[in-house]
Each structure stands twice: as structure tokens, then as C-alpha cells.
Amino acid sequence: MFELTVEARFSAAHCITGHAGRCAQLHGHNYRVVVTVAGEKLDEQGMVIDFGKLKEICCTATDPLDHTYLNDLPAFAHTNPTAEALARHIHEVIVEELADTMPAPVRVDRVTVYESDQSCATYRE
């Protein structure tokens, strides 16, 4: 099994409805997203997936989030835009994009979203 990891970054604001602390107030983060995919087979060039293609797919998931108020986005209409929800959402978008573009089986192993240098949440199926 091979694993490849790429990172993306975006900045956005949110508030956590129902939170008892300061997170209930409007605030922002400079998010760091770490995406790891896995595959057993290499293509004719000896790759699971080209790093450039994987970065492009990650940007497809994160660019629409950049410089937004996350609470207003349809993806978070029924849930708070927590780091956990962001990780799941980004995972789902990348899974869709990989299914549409990759002939060989490449699966998303995990997506980790950092809200700060010390705090992150990871989603995996």
C-alpha cells in the first residue's frame, strides 16, 4: 500500500451556534488541511496519483471555503462548521473528485483540518 499526502490552506470565519464559550462569537482561522490518499497500484509512470493532480483536487475542495463565512455555506446548513465537519466535507468532495478523474483505485485515507498549530480534527471513513 502506498500513501501520498498533500496540504492546502485557506482562511475563513465561523461561529459555533450553541457553544458555551467564546467560539459562539464570530471569529476566524487560518486553516491547514492535510489530505492523505492511498493506493495499491502504480500507474505506467510509477505513481499512485500525480502530486500536482492531487493538489488540484484538494484545491477544488478548499478554494470555495476560502475567505467565506462558513456558516452561510450550503454544506453547513444543518451543522456547525466545526473542524470535524470541515474535515468530513473536504473528504466527501475529494472522494467525488477522485471518482470522476482517476481510472485506478485511489482512496482518501484521511483528512485532517488544523484550526491552529495545536488543534486539529481528522476524518476517515
Examine the pLDDT at 31 and tell me if it is beyond 80: yes
* Mean pLDDT, range 24-42, rounded to an integer: 96
Residue at 105: amino acid letter: P
* Farthest CA pair distance, the chain: 54
Residue 92 has pLDDT above 80, yes or no: yes
Residue 58 catalytic? no
Question: 52 phi and psi, to 5 degrees?
Answer: -60, -40
- Of 3, 40, 56, 67, which one is the catalytic site residue? 67
What total number of domains does the chain contain?
A: 1
- Give 103's pLDDT tier (boundaries 50, 70, 90): low
CATH of the domain at 107: 3.30.479.10
**Which of 93, 79, 58 has its CA nearest to residue 14?**
79
Query: Is the pTM value of this prediction over 0.75?
Result: yes
Domain that residue 105 falls in:
2-123
Does residue 23 have an active-site annotation? yes
pLDDT of residue 9: 97
